[in-house]
A and B are shown apart, each in its own frame.
Chain A
Amino acid sequence: MTKATELLEKEKNEKDPARIPEVEVNNLTKTFGKRKVLDKISFELEKGGFLSLFGPNGAGKTTLIKIITTLIAPTSGEIRVSGMNPMKNSAAIRAKVGLISHSPLLYLDLNAEENLRFYGAMYSVHNLDERIDELLDQVELGHRRYDLVRTYSKGMTQRLAIARALLHKPSILFLDEPHSGLDPHAVDIFENLLDSIRAEHTFIMITHNIERGLALCSKAMILYNGQIVFYQDKEELDIDMFKSIYQQRVKGDS
């Protein structure tokens, strides 16, 4: 906990007025009746940062993501995404975020192109045809563009899901347990793809995979019962402390 507060202090002190953090969460609380789903969550994520979010089921990870992506209103606290308030600029924020989930968010009875066309219309993407060509090349699915997603392997579906998430050129990407259900080969391809888009995006990832989560991140956080119980920069990450807290909170609970 002390490390976490130190980091918060540091973030405050280093704050450069010209630099707006990509995601800024201050004293965020979400309650329902007596139950606190999220309790005074504060953190900051700079542009290009990568936050790995750990925690047992029901810790509030999904709620936190839903609040940042404007799907749920917080009870109190302040949030800024690219300097915007989710309650007031929900459409603008949604246009800037993308989601890669453990489910592909694709229609199985449509082919790759039809799926992308559909989401393109939802996001009002400009020059949609070119964008689709470009993305299908990038995820190496150009040759399967007219095949139904139903016929794809798990890895191919995941690649198309990434193309779908990048379609509207989001600046922030949310990853919701993206490794689950992927075989090692598919994980390799997934991470190569992630590497190639790493520079121009900010990431927040929910994961149960400690190894991958810590390898990818620039900041690591453990949520438990709606509270931050661990929050450190990767460079100064105390791996033993992380593991002991993780063991105690996450494993002990499940």
Chain B
Amino acid sequence: MPEVDLIAFESDPRSYRHWQLEIAAPMATVTMAVDASGGLRDGYELKLNSYDLAVDIELYDIVQRLRFEHPEVKVVVVTSGLDKVFCAGANIQMLAASSHDHKVNFCKFTNETRNAIEDAAATSAQSWLAAINGTAAGGGYELALACDEIILVDDRSTTVSLPEVPLLGVLPGTGGLTRLVDKRHVRRDLADVFATRSEGVRGQQAVDWGLVDSIAPKTTFADHVAARAQSRADRSDRPGGRGISLERLDRHPSSGGVRYSTVEVTYDRELGAAAIVVRAR
């Protein structure tokens, strides 16, 4: 079997390199400010808030912690810490250099993170609001699509776009196409125009097409976002108070498998099978 580098999926707020988490109950602000040199592998730079798996592992961790550790948080605002850019989506150099397996599993993981964001509103009364304060392209707009509400800054230049088909010959595959028509009920012909127009859509047209929920000029953007967040928080039944802390898993890997406190995995390399035992004590 070829040797592969194991990817560590655990993270915690002390080790975040790409996100800032700020809590001011009932609101949490999740700010994306990707460290360009903090990618999972060498050979690409995560410019313009583009992301790879390392960035998404942290986001996944944030989603879990907000749910379990912060019952006082009723609404989560995701925004960008960069000037003029919200998020440029998955890093293209990373995708171009990755094996097929890695691309497939990267997409599966990022899809699951976005599903978990949607699940937070559906089952935990913790809704997510995207405050798009700069260009949101591809996976950047798809991240917003996973939120319950999208607010776009109206400054004559900031756009939302899905440029994958025209520029990259692939799909907005992190839920983008599906959520446009299934979740946001964007008319299919407009969705087709949107997904084939690399320059994207801005301002009132983005509202008219259903791509975003509202727009606000730069001067009143923060106030508008705060008001929308408060209105969502008012409708949440999360109780406040103290949460529980998600401790690091007690994980013991070995050449023959991996053991946790209640789950043990044993590899049978000859059979290509992993036996997973769940123990109820």
Chains A and B bind each other: no
Contact surface of A with B, Cβ cutoff 8 Å: none
